[in-house]
Structure 1
Amino acid sequence: MTTLEKLAATIAARKGADPDTSWTAKLLFKGPEKCAEKFGEEAVEAIIEAVKGDRARLTSEAADVLYHLLVMLASRDVPLSEVLNELERREGTSGIAEKAGR
């Protein structure tokens, strides 16, 4: 099991937890819209660090982005496995060709 898969499993396990005892449960309790908002905030922070060129800060913000992406997916009952399957389906396909096929 990869680190992302472990994190996704932890997030799934927290889905029904008491929001007072878990940050993940608190986010999920607030609903998909709040989870999407937090993902967007973290994505913007990662963009800022990428523009600044601070490698360590970008790494930290990228980790936050991945975490909040997984929380957002969990809030809509989309398992990481479905996203990984979609990436696998696209493997070997030109990005230009993939976009043209949409």
Structure 2
Amino acid sequence: MIKKAPSKATTKAETKTIKAKKAKTADTLELPPLSEEADASVLNRLYDVVQSRKNADPSVSHSARLLSRGTYKIAQKFGEEAVECLIEAVAGRTSLLVGESADVLYHLIVMWVDAGVTPDEVWAELARREGTSGIAEKASRPKPTLTTPSTPKQD
């Protein structure tokens, strides 16, 4: 007797069930206690690691692989991680939100390395904004000007 391969609908349903079980399990897991080194300085250390992998072999370093794929792919991956973070926030799954937030920060740092931005530049910008109302700060930003391509003159 020949066995039939499962239909696409069956396979999709099974995949959804497995993902739902994983999400439910992950949401109920307790996070390990924070180490004494768990503070904002971990971002500076992570930046240093990603920076050190900039010219590493992409087959042995995830950071090197991301950086080798170029700005478009780095930005795309950051966007995917940001959306996953938003989904967990809206769903109220805080333990998954923590993990997705870490993914967002990592991919943001990869984007900084790719763009040549340093954490010190970002920290300085945050310090500059500190104590300023978010509304006032946003209003003080220069307004972008829209340019339209000039149309060729008709003779």
Pair in the same fold by TM > 0.5: yes
Equivalences, count: 102
Return the match for 1:94 from 130, 133, 149: 133
CA distance in 1, matches of 2:41, 2:85: 22
Q: Which structure: larger Rg? A: 2
Per the TM alignment, residue 81 of structure 1 is displaced from its structure 2 partner at its CA by: 1.1
Paired-residue identity, %: 55
Aligned to 2:71: 32
TM-score, length of structure 2 as denominator length: 0.65
Q: Distance in 1 between matches of 2:93 and 2:87?
A: 9
Higher RCO (CA-CA < 8 Å; seq separation 6+): 1
Instruction: Tell me the CA shift for residue 100 of structure 1.
Output: 0.6
Q: Structure 2: where are the runs of 5+ without partners? A: 1-39, 142-155
* Runs of 5+ consecutive residues of structure 1 not aligned to the other structure: none
* TM-score normalised over the length of structure 1: 0.97
Partner of 1:51: 90
1:13 aligns with 2:52: yes
> How far is 1:55 from its partner?
0.7
Partner of residue 84 from structure 1, selected from 123, 140, 149: 123
Partner deviation per Cα, 1:46-66 (whole Å, 9 max, x = no partner): 000000000100000000000
Structure 1 stretches (4+) deviating beyond 2 angstroms?
none
Q: Quick check: which one's helix share is greater?
A: 1
SS in 2 for 1:12: helix
